[in-house]
Structure formats: C-alpha cells, structure tokens
Amino acid sequence: MNSGQMSRVLLAITKSELGGAQRYVAQLVRLLPRHGFEPVVACGGNGWLVDRARAAGAQVIQVRGLSGARTFQGLSELRTLGELGRIIRGGDYDVVHGNSTRAGFLARLAAHRARVPVVVFTAHGFFFEERMNGFRRATYAAAERLAARWSDAIITVSEADRAAAVRAGLCPVEKLVTIRNGLDQDHLLRLRQDRAHAGRPVLASGESSSYLVGTLANLYPTKGLDHLVAAMADVQKVEPSARLVVVGEGPERLRLEALVRVHGVEGSVTFLGRMADPWRVLSGVDLFVLSSTKEGLPFALIEAMAAGLPIVATRVGGIPEVLVDGRSALLVPPGDPGALSQAICRLLREPRLATALGEEAQHAFLRDGLTAEAMAAATASLYRRLLAAKRSPGGLPNAA
C-alpha cells in the first residue's frame, strides 16, 4: 500500500495508437491527479497515448509484449504476464486499472498475483460481442468471467455493455458500475469554435459538394464502413453531388477502397486518413454518420452531439441511451446499408428536420453531462470507495 500523499494507479492498455480506449486513458491521466491519484501508464507501442501521457507529466512504461495484436497471442502471453508482473510488483500501486481485452486480462491476473489492493477493469465494449464463431466467442467470454474474479469492479461505459456482462454471467451485478465517456472542457471549447467558423472540407478531387456526409472512425471491421460505402451508392442516385469524407486509418483501408471501386463511387468517397484535429474538417459537414456494428459509447458520437451536427447512427451499444430516434438523431439497425441510405436521404430532403435533430443532440449532450471531468470524478470516487472498503476492518477481501 502506497504511504505517500497520492495513491498510485497503473493504467494498463494494449495499444497506444489513437482510439477511444486510448482517449479514455489519456483523460484519466490528465484528470486523476486533481482527485488525489498519481497515474502511470503501461502500454504497447510508441503511439499517440505515449505522447499524450508524457505531455501530461505521467510516467509511461512501454510493455514490449503488448505491442501488436489486440487479441491473445498464445504461449508468448506468459512472457507478457511476467513483464507486467515485474512492473506491478515494483510500482507500489494502490490500484491497477486494466483497459482493452489483452491488457485488461493480463494486468488483472498480474495484479491479483501481486496482491494489489484494488483491481478495476473498464470494458470499452466487450470483445466477445463482436462477430466471430461460437467457439471463439465462448472462449473470450470464459476469459472475461475468469478475469472478473480478479476484479473488484468492472466499469462499463454504457448500460448496454452492463447488460451484456449480466447476460454473459461475468460477475455479480454488484461489481458492475456504469460510468459514461465524456469530452474534456478544452476540447469542447475547440469543437464549438470549429463549428462556428467551419468551412467546407476540401475533397481529394478538389470539387465542391452540395451535400457532405462525414464520419470519424478507426478503419476496423466493427465500424461498419463497408455498409456506409454501399449506402453511398444509393444516396448518389438521389443526390449525385453528395460526398462522403472518412477521417481515420486502420487495417481495413485497402478493402474499403476496393469496395468503393466495386460500388462505382470513386468520385464520391474520400479517405482523409488520420488527422491531428479531425473536427476542423468534420465541423463543416452537413451530416455525421456512425455505421458501427458494435460500440460502447463512442467519443466520435459525443463530439458530433456537442458540435450540434445532425446524426445518423446505428442502434448499437450505448448509442440509444444518449440519442432518441426521430428526436435527436435517426437511428438505424446495424449492418443495413439500405436503412443507412434511407436515413441519409431523408435528412438530405428535409433540412429543417436535420437542423432540429442537431440542436436536440447538442441539448442532450449538455443535459446528460457527458464530460471527461464527470467521468474522472466518478472513477476516482469508485477507487476511493474500493480502497476504503479494503482498508477497513472486515472490509472487502482481495478479488478471487
């Protein structure tokens, strides 16, 4: 147990490249010290999160075994487990907080073996909820059930993820705590400034567009961008000048570019890659679309809400918890290009409805208090409650 003034927290995550889970960890790194916790980051690679954490003054420990894939890597995970164990035993941590499937499992096991007082995991959407064969799904669900035994609490970023945990029988419901993602105040201010001064994004072709659709996503299969590309082929029949800009990068890019050619929309879809400040571009679009087949509570969606953009999104994860179909967005079933294209075309034809949806989405963002400050305060409160229970006579036993 750390005897210093601030309690030490190890935030473990598999990859350091920019993504929703990495943004979450970066927010905790910046905000936890305000609540009496000293954060340390353990991650694979040398990406965006490493730079952000160091800029915030936090120690970063790069874990060689976590570089690469987000899924389990067989017997080599024994070396990674040993590496994490040495880090945890040498760090005098009061809390180990795992994020993402691989690091979340291995860090919890290593923390349990090192008898760390409090072990927490945040599920940014459960991996076993993704599309996969039955055996693989059962294996990952079993791994989560096992790791839950080593956890004092599991944070879910949406009630949908909490329900998934209950359905899978991961742990007693008392261990499950929902704390939603949020935006930090500085970022929120920049979003409002970008929206107020937004111009039209410059397309790769250099041409103008009378109707511009935008999306922000890592190019992974779960983002459903193949369905969005297919939907744009139908949108083109209604409005030939409509264009889609995709901000983000990932392993699906070549396949998506091939699908663009298959659907004959080469002149209508522009991939802009990863951008340091994507909302300088996206604040100028007419419509924001999220086509995911699986989500927790995506930061890109919260940003679109805060910017007051009209939104079309799939009815997955925590999205229906913050947006109401027909009132603050148009929500469609996942994996349905026809439903996506119909919703896009409806807002194209009904600009007054689009404006009303964007305004109500912004009101919902403000009403629900989707801020990073609220998220970090709730997380710190959970840490304190669990630590107090462990320190009190007859308190909680170590998770087992």
> What is the token pair recorded at 398?
């170590």
- Whole-number Å distance between alpha carbons of 189 and 6: 30
Whose CA is closest to 29, among 184, 155, 191? 184
- pLDDT at position 303, please? 95
Whose CA is closest to 307, among 290, 292, 286? 286
Q: Where are the beta strands (DSSP E) in the chain?
A: 7-15, 37-44, 59-62, 95-99, 118-123, 153-156, 176-178, 211-216, 242-247, 269-273, 287-290, 311-314, 330-332
Cβ(108)–Cβ(98) under 8 Å? yes
- pLDDT at position 3, please? 47
- pLDDT at position 390, please? 87
Task: Give the chain's residues under pLDDT 70.
Answer: 1-4, 68-75, 189, 192-209, 393-400
The model carries a pTM of: 0.89
CA atoms within 13 A on the CB side of 148: 23
Collapsing DSSP to helix, strand or coil, 153 comes out as strand
Question: In sequence order, which residues have a C-beta less than 8 Å from that of residue 155 and are 6 or more positions away?
Answer: 120, 121, 122, 123, 177, 178, 179, 379, 382
- Whole-number Å distance between alpha carbons of 23 and 11: 12
Residue length, the chain?
A: 400
Domain with CATH 3.40.50.2000 in the chain: 7-182+371-391, 185-368
- Whole-number Å distance between alpha carbons of 261 and 265: 6
Is CATH 3.40.630.30 what the domain over 7-182+371-391 is classified as, yes or no? no
The CATH code for residues 185-368 is: 3.40.50.2000
Instruction: Dump pLDDT digits (tens) for 185-226.
Output: 777 767 766 665 555 565 555 555 579 999 999 999 999 999
Cβ(154)–Cβ(178) under 8 Å? no
Tokens 């079309």 locate to 312
Residues 166-194 as b/e (b if ≥16 CB within 10 A, e otherwise) read eebebbeeebbbbbbbbbbeebbebbeeb
